[in-house]
């Protein structure tokens, strides 16, 4: 049967991947002109976080879905729907999140409509994607046997990712609040607390779940399942750990998001027990450790690849390790010293700390790197490897650039956290965005080779 992707420009997955690479690169490059202020202490503001961050990351999720649809042999109807959403998602997201996010009425109402249409379309895609994975697992039994850990992890992480946006939509649309469940909850916990709980559950859940999904996509893209049984078992063990962690933190964030449950910290000590790891951070970290175990297995499987491809895929894995190093080595160190860092608030424990400005610096630094540009670069490396099969010096030079950037990124976050000076972080952000732009240019230059390669 002739594939639909060879018949229609808008349904060709390679054209659509290239289109999203171009879009993401240009939004990042021109984001300061659109009002983004990436390097600032603390959390992102409305235009930076609610606007430009989502203007990049929402299409990035669709990019991951399109790649996964090919790698996991999803049904044709799912692939058609996913690819057909490429340009509507780009246009609606850029107009809504990139331009009019945060504007007052009537633009705010228009933004709700624009983003609402996109959200409904993508949520339908999420359901079709999950169903498609299950159908593929049943139809492709031999492939499923080789990759069962990856298959199940992608299904579980996709369900978690599909649930998380509901929190954000409900928190931002008061029209939902007349429902008995929401109105009673608001009365019990208060409007501001209710909205805060939902937004926290949304952001803390969707990021680790999506990152685990991306790790799975990379593992299958790098063909770990063609290696020895020992390597496949190692990857499956990591996947099982991540599956358990995702189910656990998805449940906790659901309870905390719509109820009054306050997620506790464990291993507490210090004044009023302020030092210690939050339970949800332990679970999200556990999902990351599962991904690390998977990555070790994938790395061991790279020996079968040609030299430049092996280096490029190793560089991709190192990006994932850098993300974990920032979150675990630096992030956990702060949580065990909250008496000083004060949860980013001035004052004294348990409500603040003398080093709050350093915590605010870390908040911005890790949001920019470990929860934004590094996962994005990881996905773009996977996309480039997936499309560009040629083993040449382009992959080697990009790998060397990436190795250097990972060292800079880690020390940029560390330096910002220790000094509250974000100059090195700003340089790192510029270098990471430049790298994304370079890959986009290479992809456009090599597009004929990419499109002709099976």
Mean pLDDT over residues 5-16, rounded? Answer: 83
> What pLDDT sits at residue 20?
98
Mean pLDDT over residues 382-386, rounded? Answer: 97
Q: Note the pLDDT tens digit of each residue in 292-311.
A: 999 999 999 998 888 999 99
Please give the residue range of the domain that contains residue 446.
305-454
> What pLDDT sits at residue 255?
86
Percent of the chain residues past pLDDT 70, beyond the cut: 91
Asked if the structure places residue 103 within a domain, the reply is no
Mean pLDDT over residues 65-73, rounded? Answer: 98
Name residues whose C-beta falls within 8 Å of residue 54's C-beta, 6 or more positions apart in sequence: 93, 97, 101
Asked if the structure places residue 231 within a domain, the reply is no
In the predicted structure, residue 143 carries a pLDDT above the cut 50:
yes
Mean pLDDT over residues 10-34, rounded? Answer: 95
* Mean pLDDT lowest among 50-64, 208-222, 245-259, 439-453: 245-259
> What pLDDT sits at residue 1?
38
Please give the DSSP secondary-structure letter assigned to residue 100.
S
* Mean pLDDT lowest among 159-163, 304-308, 413-417: 304-308
> What pLDDT sits at residue 297?
97
* Mean pLDDT lowest among 6-20, 82-96, 312-326: 6-20
* Mean pLDDT lowest among 101-115, 117-131, 384-398: 101-115
4 closest CA partner among 58, 84, 59, 123? 84
SS3 percent helix, strand, coil of the chain, rounded to 5, is: 80, 0, 15
Q: Note the pLDDT tens digit of each residue in 333-357.
A: 999 998 999 887 888 887 888 889 9
93 closest CA partner among 127, 124, 61? 61
Which stretch, 110-114, 167-171, 175-179, 242-246, has highest mean pLDDT?
242-246
Name residues whose C-beta falls within 8 Å of residue 185's C-beta, 6 or more positions apart in sequence: 194, 258, 259, 260
Asked if the structure places residue 285 within a domain, the reply is no
Percent of the chain residues past pLDDT 90, beyond the cut: 67
> What pLDDT sits at residue 393?
93
DSSP line for 362-412: HHHHHHHIIIIIHHHHHHHHHHHHHH----SHHHHHHHHHHHHHHHHHHHH
Q: Indicate the average pLDDT of the chain.
A: 90
Asked if the structure places residue 297 within a domain, the reply is no
Tell me the pLDDT band of 275, cut-offs 50, 70 and 90: very high
* CA–CA distance, 362 with 41 (Å, rounded to integer): 8
Asked if the structure places residue 347 within a domain, the reply is yes
> Which is it for strands 275-278 and 265-269: parallel, antiparallel or unpaired?
antiparallel
> What pLDDT sits at residue 6?
54
Tokens of 124: 């339908």
In the predicted structure, residue 2 carries a pLDDT above the cut 50:
no
> What pLDDT sits at residue 193?
62
Tell me the pLDDT band of 183, cut-offs 50, 70 and 90: low
* CA–CA distance, 206 with 367 (Å, rounded to integer): 13
Asked if the structure places residue 196 within a domain, the reply is no
Question: Are residues 322 and 413 in contact, defined by beta-carbon separation less than 8 angstroms?
Answer: no
In the predicted structure, residue 46 carries a pLDDT above the cut 80:
no
Tell me the pLDDT band of 244, cut-offs 50, 70 and 90: very high
Q: Note the pLDDT tens digit of each residue in 196-224.
A: 777 778 888 999 999 999 999 999 999 99
In the predicted structure, residue 168 carries a pLDDT above the cut 80:
no
Asked if the structure places residue 156 within a domain, the reply is no
CATH code, domain with 353: 1.20.120
Mean pLDDT over residues 237-249, rounded? Answer: 97
How many CB atoms are closer than 10 A to CB 92? Answer: 21
Mean pLDDT over residues 166-177, rounded? Answer: 65
Domain count, the chain: 1
Which stretch, 102-116, 167-181, 213-227, has highest mean pLDDT?
213-227
Helix 107-139 to helix 141-172 angle (10° resolution) is 160
Asked if the structure places residue 376 within a domain, the reply is yes
* CA–CA distance, 454 with 436 (Å, rounded to integer): 24
> What pLDDT sits at residue 81?
97
Residue 40's alpha-carbon distances to 25, 103, 137, 273, 362, in angstroms, are 21, 21, 45, 29, 10
């Amino acid at each position: 049967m002739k594939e639909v992707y060879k018949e229609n420009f808008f349904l060709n997955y390679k054209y659509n991947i290239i289109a999203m690479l171009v879009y993401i690169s240009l939004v990042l490059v021109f984001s300061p002109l659109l009002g983004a202020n990436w390097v600032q202490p603390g959390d992102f503001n409305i235009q930076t976080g609610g606007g430009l961050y989502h203007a990049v990351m929402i299409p990035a999720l669709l990019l991951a879905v399109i790649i996964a649809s090919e790698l996991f042999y999803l049904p044709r109807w799912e692939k058609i729907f996913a690819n057909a959403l490429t340009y509507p998602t780009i246009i609606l997201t850029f107009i809504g999140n990139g331009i009019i996010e945060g504007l007052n009425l009537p633009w705010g109402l228009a933004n709700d409509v624009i983003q609402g249409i996109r959200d409904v379309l993508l949520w339908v895609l999420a359901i079709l994607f999950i169903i498609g994975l299950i159908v593929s697992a049943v139809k492709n039994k031999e492939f499923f046997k080789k990759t069962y850990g990856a298959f199940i992890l992608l299904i579980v992480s996709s369900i978690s990712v599909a649930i998380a946006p509901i929190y954000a939509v409900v928190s931002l649309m008061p029209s939902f609040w007349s429902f008995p469940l929401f109105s009673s909850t608001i009365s019990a916990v208060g409007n501001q607390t209710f909205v805060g709980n939902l937004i926290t559950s949304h952001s803390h859940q969707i990021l680790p779940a999506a990152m685990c999904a991306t790790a799975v996509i990379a593992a299958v893209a790098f063909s770990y399942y063609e290696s020895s049984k020992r390597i496949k078992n190692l990857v499956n063990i990591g996947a099982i750990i991540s599956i358990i962690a995702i189910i656990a933190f998805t449940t906790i964030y659901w309870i905390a998001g719509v109820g009054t449950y306050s997620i506790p910290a464990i291993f507490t000590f210090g004044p009023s027990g302020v030092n210690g790891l939050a339970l949800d951070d332990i679970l999200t970290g556990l999902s990351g450790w599962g991904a690390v175990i998977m990555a070790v297995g994938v790395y061991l499987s790279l020996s079968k690849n040609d030299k430049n491809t092996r280096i490029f895929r190793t560089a991709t894995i190192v990006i994932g390790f850098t993300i974990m190093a920032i979150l675990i080595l630096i992030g956990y160190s702060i949580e065990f010293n909250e008496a000083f860092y004060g949860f980013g608030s001035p004052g004294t424990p348990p409500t603040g700390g003398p080093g709050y400005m350093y915590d605010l610096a870390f908040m911005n630094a890790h949001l920019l790197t470990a929860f934004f540009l590094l996962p994005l670069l990881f996905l773009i490396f996977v996309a480039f490897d997936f499309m560009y099969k040629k083993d040449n010096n382009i992959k080697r030079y990009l790998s060397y650039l990436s190795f250097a950037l990972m060292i800079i990124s880690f020390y940029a976050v560390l330096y910002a956290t220790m000094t509250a000076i974000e100059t090195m972080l700003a340089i790192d952000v510029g270098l990471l965005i430049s790298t994304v732009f370079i890959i986009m240019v290479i992809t456009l230059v090599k597009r004929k080779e990419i499109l002709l390669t099976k």
